[in-house]
Amino acid sequence: MRSHTSLALGNCQPKQSLPLVYRFHFMAFFSSFNRQTFNISREYEQLEPPNCRFIEGIETGAEDIDILPNGLAFMSSGLKYPGAPYFAPDEHGKMLLLDVNEEEPKPVVLGISSGFDIDSFNPHGISVYIDDKDDSVYVFVVNHPKVSTTVELFKFQEEEKSLLHLKTIEHELLQSVNDIAAVGPESFYATNDHYFLNSLGRVAELYLNLPLENVVYYSPTEVKEVATGFNFANGIIMSHDKKYVYVASLFDNSISVFEKHANWSLSQVKDLQIDKLVDNLCIDPTTGDVWMACHIDGWQLFNYNPKNPPGSEVLRLQNILSENPVLTQVYVNNGSKLQASSVACVHDGRLVVGSVFHKAIYCDLE
Ligand SMILES: *[C@@H]1O[C@H](CO)[C@@H](O)[C@H](O)[C@H]1NC(C)=O
Ligand SMILES: [Ca+2]
Ligand SMILES: [Ca+2]
C-alpha cells in the first residue's frame, strides 16, 4: 500500500459537484490526516489568459501533448475511451504535429509508416524521448486497439513529418495504461487507470473508489510494478532534472511525488492533495513548474450531455518539491468553449491546452 506522507496547507471542502458515489472515499482509511491541500477557489468563475484561440482543425480531442525543446508539439487525437463521448466514431485516431512557435500554429497529421495497423489506432497518453547519442526523437504512444493496451514506439522523421513504427509493446502488467513517461529509447514508466479489464470490474472499481491502480516500469529486460494504491492513476511525467517522477491520480484528486532510484524503483516523497480531478501533466522546461489539466466534474465527463457539457480547468503548480508549493488557476471554462481539458503544456510563454474528445486552444501567457 502506498503511504501518504504529507504537509498541511489550509482545508478544502469536498467537491460539491461530484455525485455521492465518488465521495464515498475508501481512501479515507488509507490516507493520513493531513495531506497537503490547497485553498483555491471553489467558485465556478471563468478565467482565461489573453488571446486564447482555438487550434484550427482539432475537433476530436488532443488527449495528450508533449513538446520538444524546439517548440514542436506532438498531440494524440481521436481517443475513444469507454464511457466518454467521441465525435468521429468512424475515424481512427491520429498523431498531430504543431509548431508552437508559429504565430497561428496549425496542426499537421503525422504520416505513419506502412505495416502499422492504422485502422485500429486509438492513441491515448504520449511521451517523447530524445536520445543524447544522435538526437533521435522517439515517440511513445499508448494505444487501445479494441479494449486492450499496447505501447507503440515510433521514431520521428522530421523532414517527412512522419512516424516510423519501430515496435508494439504488450505486457500483462500494462493492462490498462493511461499515460507513460519515456526514460530511454525503449523504456518508460506507465500508469494503469484500471485494474480489472471486464466492464463489471471497471465499473466497480470506479464507483467504489478502489485504490488498485499502479505505476509500472518497463524495459526490454525488466518489467516491474514500482508504485501502487492509486485510485485511477493518470498523468505521469519526469521532473525537469529527471530525479523525480510525478503521478496524477484522478479520483485521489492528488499528485504524488516519487524519487527515482538507479534501479528504476520509486520511493514516495509526498502526496499533494489538489482537490481536483487531475488528468495529464506537463513540465515547464525553464522553471520546472508542473502544469496540469483537470476535469471539473467526473459525472459530466462520464455521462455526457451536450446541453450541460463538462468544463475545463488548467492549474500551474510551482515549487512542487518545497514545503510551500503554490497552486494557481490559469484557465477555467464551463464547457461553453472547451470541454473536458486533459492536458496543458507551455513553451516560451505560450500555453497549449488539449481535451479528451473536444477542441484544443492556445493562449499567450505574457
Ligand atoms: C457558461 O458561461 C457562459 C458565459 O461565459 C454562459 O453564457 C453559459 O450559459 C454558461 N453555460 C453553462 C452550461 O453554464
Ligand atoms: Ca504524457
Ligand atoms: Ca490521461
- Do residues 131 and 117 make contact, with C-beta atoms less than 8 angstroms apart? no
Catalytic residue numbers read 124
For residue 326, give the C-alpha cell.
503554490
Of 26, 4, 24, 29, residue with least CA distance to 14: 24
pLDDT at 188: 98
What's the sign of the alpha-carbon dihedral 145, 149, 153, 157? Answer: positive
12 has a pLDDT exceeding 50: no
Confidence grade of residue 39 (pLDDT, cut at 50, 70, 90): low
pLDDT at 3: 42
- Do residues 221 and 187 make contact, with C-beta atoms less than 8 angstroms apart? no
Mean pLDDT of the chain: 88
Q: Is the CB of 219 under 6 A from ligand 1?
A: no
228 C-alpha vs ligand 1 centroid, how far in Å?
A: 39
Residue type, 358: H
pLDDT at 131: 97
Confidence grade of residue 29 (pLDDT, cut at 50, 70, 90): very low
pLDDT at 208: 75
Q: Is the CB of 46 under 6 A from ligand 1?
A: yes
Give the Cα separation of 29 and 22 in Å (integer): 15
Confidence grade of residue 214 (pLDDT, cut at 50, 70, 90): very high
Q: Is the CB of 334 under 6 A from ligand 1?
A: yes
Q: Is the CB of 305 under 6 A from ligand 1?
A: no
pLDDT at 10: 29
pLDDT at 76: 98
pLDDT digits (tens, 9 = 90+) for 235-289: 999 999 999 999 999 988 999 999 999 999 999 999 999 989 999 999 999 999 9
16 has a pLDDT exceeding 70: no
Q: What percent of the chain has pLDDT above 90?
A: 76
Helices (H), 314-354: none
Mean pLDDT of 98-110: 97
pLDDT at 19: 34
Residues making up the annotated binding site for Ca(2+) are 63-64, 126, 178-179, 234, 279-280
Give the Cα separation of 175 and 147 in Å (integer): 10
pLDDT digits (tens, 9 = 90+) for 313-360: 999 999 999 999 999 999 999 999 999 999 999 999 999 999 999 999
Confidence grade of residue 38 (pLDDT, cut at 50, 70, 90): low
pLDDT digits (tens, 9 = 90+) for 143-183: 999 879 999 999 999 999 999 999 999 999 999 999 999 99
- Do residues 290 and 316 make contact, with C-beta atoms less than 8 angstroms apart? yes
Q: In this structure, which ligand is nearest to the CA of 177? A: 3
Confidence grade of residue 43 (pLDDT, cut at 50, 70, 90): low
Q: Which residue has the cell 533521435?
A: 136
pLDDT digits (tens, 9 = 90+) for 221-242: 999 999 999 999 999 999 999 9
pLDDT at 41: 52
- Do residues 4 and 35 make contact, with C-beta atoms less than 8 angstroms apart? yes
DSSP letter for 93, please: P
Q: What is the H or E stretch that residue 119 is in?
A: none
- Residue 309 Cα: closest atom of ligand 1: 13
141 C-alpha vs ligand 3 centroid, how far in Å?
A: 12
Question: Which protein residue has the closest C-alpha to ligand 1 atom 14?
Answer: 334
* Substitution site in 47, 331, 336, 339 for ligand 1 pocket (most atoms within 8 Å of beta carbon): 336
29 C-alpha vs ligand 2 centroid, how far in Å?
A: 30
> pTM of the prediction?
0.89
Question: Which protein residue has the closest C-alpha to ligand 1 atom 12?
Answer: 334
Confidence grade of residue 211 (pLDDT, cut at 50, 70, 90): confident
Q: Which residue has the cell 485516431?
A: 93
